[in-house]
Amino acid sequence: MNVLDWILTAIRWFHLLAAVAWVGGGMFWILVLRPALGRSDETGGATRRSIGEEFRNLVNTAIGVLLVTGIVLSATRLTDNAVTTPYVAVLVVKIVLALYMFYVVRFLRPRVYPDSANAGGSRMGRAKDRMTSTGALLIYGVIILGLSDILNALFENALVN
> 60: Cβ–Cβ under 8 A, 6 or more apart, which residues?
105
Measuring CA to CA, which residue among 143, 146, 118, 144 is closest to residue 132?
118
What's the pLDDT score for residue 112? 53
Instruction: Specify the pTM.
Output: 0.83
What's the pLDDT score for residue 161? 83
Classify the C-alpha dihedral 77-81-85-86 as positive or negative.
negative
What's the pLDDT score for residue 92? 97
What's the pLDDT score for residue 12? 96
**Regions of the chain with pLDDT less than 70:** 39-44, 110-121, 124-125
CB atoms within 10 A of CB 138: 20
Identify the burial level of 141 via C-beta atoms within 10 angstroms of its C-beta, where 0-12 means exposed, 13-18 middle and 19 or more buried. Answer: buried
